[in-house]
Amino acid sequence: MKRVGRVGSFADVQSYVRSVRDAPSLTDIGLVLKDATRSLQFHHYALAQRISSNRLGTLRLSDFPDHWVDQLADETRIADDPVLLASSRQVTPFAWSNLPTLVPMTGRHRAYMAAARNAGLNDGFTVPIHIPGQASGLVSFVVGGEGDLPNDSLPAAHYLACFAFEAARRLRLAEQGGDEQQPRLTQRQLDCLVLAARGKSNWVAGQLLGLSAGTVHKYLEAAKQRYGVSSRTELVVRALYDGHLNFADVMGDRPADG
């Protein structure tokens, strides 16, 4: 399997996506994700399907320490995980250090996080995934010891998390003999999506396309509804997977790295 170098630029994310698309199994996705995790200067990762605010599904990948994974086999222990609770309420990524501002931390929640730190999971960056009517989930990138989150890597980690979960979700769906119809986007929706993927605001995109900011917003919201996603990042990821976009569209006028 091809190893991906240090992941930090959009071009590097493209290499990661290719590796994920070539992965023939969930195990292989886990190996690619492990490699990318180290490249992003994290120590561990975890990807999981979320059934409810305190329950995980059977789709789980991680390289957490074995003794911690063994403890998580106890579903009652997972119910005390505040990261899982926050993921059910948040649509944007969050650092574990911000959990007290996101959910009411009970004594059991605090004890759970203390145990995680003792297991070598010091702080994390979690990306919630919400797919209405399907497998919602979360992907966490974690630093161990006394390390701090690598802030410069967080935008790339966000995209990688969405790609990894989408790849795992589609493989699991194929294993179960399922199939899903690919949504179709209109040309105007694609025009707005390309500019949104390049980081343009609704106002700037509207100026470039001859539309109002409100109309751009409506096109993007309609595209999100067609895909059943809750964020623009997830919309970009799904459109890239289905070939509506390619990385040349997304990179566009981004400055070269270096």
Q: Any idea what the CATH number is for the domain that residue 133 is in?
A: 3.30.450.80
Q: Between 175 and 107, name the one with better pLDDT.
A: 107
Domain co-membership, 171 together with 201: no
180, part of any domain? no
Domain co-membership, 91 together with 148: yes
Q: Are 137 and 59 in contact (CB under 8 A)?
A: yes
Terminal-to-terminal C-alpha distance of the chain: 27
Task: Name the pLDDT band for 143 (thresholds 50, 70, 90).
Answer: very high
Read off the CATH number of the domain in which 198 is found.
1.10.10.10
pLDDT at 218: 94
Give per-residue pLDDT as tens, 20-71: 777 888 889 899 889 888 888 999 999 988 776 667 777 888 999 888 887 7
Q: What is the reported pTM?
A: 0.77
Phi then psi for residue 178, to 5 deg, are -95, 170
Considering only 8-17, 87-96, 115-124, which range has the smallest mean pLDDT? 8-17
The 3-state secondary structure of 118-148 reads HCCCCEEEEEEECCCCCCEEEEEEEECCCCC
Domain co-membership, 35 together with 157: yes
pLDDT at 163: 84
Domain co-membership, 112 together with 229: no
120, part of any domain? yes
Q: Is residue 4 pLDDT above 50, yes or no? A: no
C-beta neighbour count of 55 within 10 angstroms = 13
144, part of any domain? yes
Q: How many domains does the chain have?
A: 2
Q: Is residue 181 pLDDT above 50, yes or no? A: yes
| Full residue range of the structural domain in which residue 219 is found | 187-251
Place of tokens 């994390």: 124
**Facing residues of 139 across strands?**
47, 127
Alpha-carbon distance values, 64 to 80, 146, 149 (Å): 17, 16, 17
Q: Is residue 167 pLDDT above 60, yes or no? A: yes
Phi then psi for residue 201, to 5 deg, are -75, 165
pLDDT at 97: 94
pLDDT at 253: 52
- Running DSSP on this structure, what letter comes out for residue 54? T
Q: Is residue 201 pLDDT above 80, yes or no? A: yes
Domain co-membership, 50 together with 153: yes
Give per-residue pLDDT as tens, 78-116: 888 999 999 988 889 999 999 999 999 999 999 999 999
Question: Using alpha carbons only, how large is the chain's radius of gyration in Å?
Answer: 18
Q: Is residue 1 pLDDT above 50, yes or no? A: no
Q: Are 54 and 79 in contact (CB under 8 A)?
A: yes
Domain co-membership, 84 together with 163: yes
Q: Is residue 258 pLDDT above 50, yes or no? A: no
Average pLDDT over the chain, rounded to whole? 82
pLDDT at 238: 80
Q: How many CA atoms lie within 13 Å of 114's alpha carbon, on the beta-carbon side?
A: 7
Task: Name the pLDDT band for 207 (thresholds 50, 70, 90).
Answer: very high
Q: Between 161 and 96, name the one with better pLDDT.
A: 96
Q: Between 253 and 207, name the one with better pLDDT.
A: 207
